[in-house]
Chains A and B, each alone.
Chain A
Amino acid sequence: MHGLINRAVQCYLRDTFGAGRWRDIARESRIGVENFEPMLLYPPGTTEALITAASRVMGRPRDALLEDMGTYLVSNPQLEALRRLLRFGGSDFEEFLHSLEDLPGRGRLALPDLALPDLVLTAREAGRYRLRCRSDLPGTGYVMIGLLRAMADDYGALALLDYLGAAGDCEDIGIELLETGFAEGRAFDLAFRTG
């Protein structure tokens, strides 16, 4: 699994529960490292071991942890780069939803080794969508729910998200878009400030 993903899990756990608890989780998961390098590759199963250990050590349901992590990925100021890259998907939340199918391709453009979940968006009726998410990591659908909720917030849209169920390595998410201009979204200036 790509170090970037493991690093994201590490940052989420460390920032949320503290460095001490993160070390407990790393030990419990028997992954053999306490610090992931975002630009290196790690053996398959590492992410799974981390999530399982985190759930056990923190006494929290796996799904809730994953959903919380999805929100963290977009809303943590230290990960502003990721939020910006996601915002390139579209100028409003609905456009962003339609761009999700491009997500693995966009990920590969940045990092050829990066495997992101396969996403397929199906429109059901006006303002209602189903997002099918296929991934090696069970519970990725919950990460997507947390991430989409934070992105809706970012765009100032009001959306209801719910987990419809899983079959094999596919998970389905229901998205109901109630209002696109619900609130003032966060600013997104196309110009990128370096340094």
Chain B
Amino acid sequence: MARDEDDLTVGLGRAALDRLMPMHLYLSAGGTILSAGPTIARLYGKNGLIGLDFFATFEIRRPVGISGPADLARVAGARLIMLPLQTDGLSLRGVALPLAGAGGGMLLNLSFGIGVVEAVAHYRLTDADFAVTDLAMELLYLMEAKAAVTDELRQLNLRLQGARDAAEEQALTDTLTGLRNRRALDMTLDRVIAEGQSFGLMHIDLDYFKAVNDTYGHAAGDHVLREVGQALMSETRKMDTVARVGGDEFVIVFKDLADPGRLSRIADRIVARLSLPISFEDHSCMISASIGISISTDYDPPDPERMLDDADQALYASKKAGRGRAQLHHPAPRGDGDPCLN
């Protein structure tokens, strides 16, 4: 009883055809458009498509070489990519199949493919413009859902980035003075050395700080440290790194500054500034500073460990020489023997 599939012929009225395939085109054997589905017709507005020559209205891009009814019949059933010539940029895809019966001709069914998003916006299409089986609505839904999710993720990333920056800043900051901490100093030294920049290194130790702490208490000591921090910031440039590396010890990295004369003058100014009394409540706290300086151009290659050690030795020499002064570390003339201090 099984019917041979090849013998099955289905007749469809216009309304059924429009509902099943709102983007169909029915071509005569000569290639004239006899009928167009309501959605494809929208692309052409009032003038419509009926009576136009299909091959003058659409350009078939794939497969290549389709320019007349015979060519189209040859690629029946294949996937077609085509451009409606009157619309810019829109690409349609579809399939053409020959119709049974005396008249012949071909039926094309088309869709927007991935261009559906632009087409919906451009031609103000609605749900009713698509075949019930078309996944266009799902595609549009997905696109919006994805956009909403992406937007949320972008905002989450911004918030996380902000939190990370804040945490990083915190991890590199000395909480009492707001200066950089030891970790930040190490990172700075590694970076300037890696970048091959020359720099001056200043190691500063406060004189008589213990006396302030012992006489006026820790609150006074903390106040003095904060004031010192302020003073160091105002005596240095924005590009320099000022770090508190111990109780009353500070290190400054002067980027692109390797001139001994200039570094000494800056150090003298810092000593003078820190020798001014710092008032705390009713008291006047007197401190001073001893400073040791090392310069990256004296080393080949510069080594942060050694430069810090040498600045520390110069600092020690300042202390021994009576405090409240600065000394440069002088490298040994031939790179061996004890460093010579003066």
Which A residues have a C-beta under 8 Å from some C-beta of B? 4, 37-40, 81, 84-85, 88, 90-91, 106, 109-111, 189-192, 194
- Across-interface contacts of B148 in A (CB, < 8 A): 81, 85, 110
- The count of residues in chain B whose C-beta lies closer than 8 Å to any C-beta of chain A is 23
In the bound complex, CA of A81 to CA of B125 (Å) = 19
Interchain Cβ contacts within 8 Å, total number: 53
Say yes or no: A192 contacts B156, CB within 8 Å.
Answer: no
Give every chain A residue within 8 A of B159 (Cβ-Cβ). Answer: 37
Asked if B144 and A111 sit within 8 Å, CB to CB, the answer is: no
A90 to B147, CA, bound (A): 20
Main secondary structure of the interface of A (DSSP, over half): loop
Q: Are B120 and A88 in contact (CB under 8 A)?
A: no
Given A37-B156, A39-B153, A106-B141, CB of A91 within 8 Å of CB of B120? no
Which of A4, A85, A190, A191 has the most CB atoms of chain B within a 10 A radius of its CB? A190
The dominant DSSP class at the B interface is helix
B145 touches A192 (CB 8 A): no
Q: How far is the CB of A130 from chain B (nearest CB, A)?
A: 26
User: Which B residues from 125 to 155 make CB contacts under 8 A with A?
Assistant: 125-128, 137, 140-149, 152-153
Q: How far is the CB of A150 from chain B (nearest CB, A)?
A: 19
Beyond A39-B156, A81-B148, is A91–B142 a contact (Cβ under 8 Å)? Answer: no
**Neighbouring B residues of A110 by C-beta, 8 Å:** 142, 145-146, 148-149
Query: Does B144 lie within 8 Å of A88, measured CB to CB?
Result: yes
Query: Is B156 touching A190 in the complex (CB atoms < 8 A)?
Result: no
| Chain B residue at minimum C-beta to C-beta distance from A191 | B121
Nearest Cβ distance between residue B124 and chain A, in whole angstroms?
7
Q: A111 CA to B145 CA in the complex, in Å?
A: 9
- Alpha-carbon distance between A191 and B152 when the two chains are bound, in angstroms: 20
